[in-house]
Amino acid sequence: MTALFQSEFFYNYRRSSSAMIGSALMAFFALAVLLGPFIVAQDPYDIAALNLMDSYKPPVWLEGGDPQFWLGTDGQGRDVWASILYGARISLFIGLVAMVASCFIGTLLGLIAGFYGGLVDSVIMRIADIQLSFPSILIALFLMSAVGTGIDKVLIALTAVGWVVYARTVRGSTLSEIEKEYVQAAKVAGLPNHKIIRKHVLPNVLTPLIVIATIQVGTFVLIEASLSFLGVGVPITQPSLGLLIKNGFDVLFSGLWWTSVFPGVAIMMLVFGINLFGDFLRDELNPRLK
Partner 1 sequence: MFGYLLKRLIQMTLVLWIVSVIVFLMMSFTGDPVFMVVPIDATDAEIAQARRILGLDQSLLVQYGRFISSLVQGDFGNSYVFRQPAMTLILERLPATVEMVLVAMALALAVAIPLGVYAGANPNSRISRTIMAGSLLGISLPGFWVGMVLIFLFAVHWGIFPSSGRGDTAELFGLRISLLTADGWHHIILPAVTLSLATMAILLRMTRAGMMEVGRQDFMKFARAKGAPRRDVLYKHGLKNALIPVITIFGLQLGDLIAFATITETIFSWPGMGKLLIDSIYRADRPVIVVYLMLVALIFVVINFLVDIVYTLIDPRITLK
Phi, psi of 55 (to 5 degrees): -70, 145
Q: Which residues partner with 73 through β-bridges?
A: 79
Binding-site string for partner 1 from residue 118 to residue 147, where x marks contact by CB under 8 A and - marks none: ------------x-xxxx-xx--xxx-xxx
Binding partner 1 by CB under 8 A: which of 167, 225, 234, 281? 225
How far apart CA 135 and CA 283 sit, in angstroms, is: 26
Residues of this chain, 205-224, that bind partner 1 according to CB under 8 A: 218, 222
The alpha carbons of the chain give a radius of gyration, in whole angstroms, of 23
Residue 73, classed as helix, strand or coil, is strand
The residue type at 169: T
How far apart CA 244 and CA 86 sit, in angstroms, is: 11
Binding-site string for partner 1 from residue 159 to residue 198, where x marks contact by CB under 8 A and - marks none: ----------------------------------------
| Residue 61 is a binding residue for partner 1 (CB under 8 A) | no
Residues of this chain, 146-165, that bind partner 1 according to CB under 8 A: 146-148
How far apart CA 267 and CA 242 sit, in angstroms, is: 8
Smallest distance, Å, CB 214 to partner 1? 13
Instruction: Compute the residue count for the chain.
Output: 290
Applying CB under 8 A, which residues contact partner 1?
18, 130, 132-135, 137-138, 141-143, 145-148, 218, 222, 225-226, 229-232, 242, 245, 248-249, 252-253, 255, 257, 260-261, 263-264, 267-268, 271-272, 274-276, 279
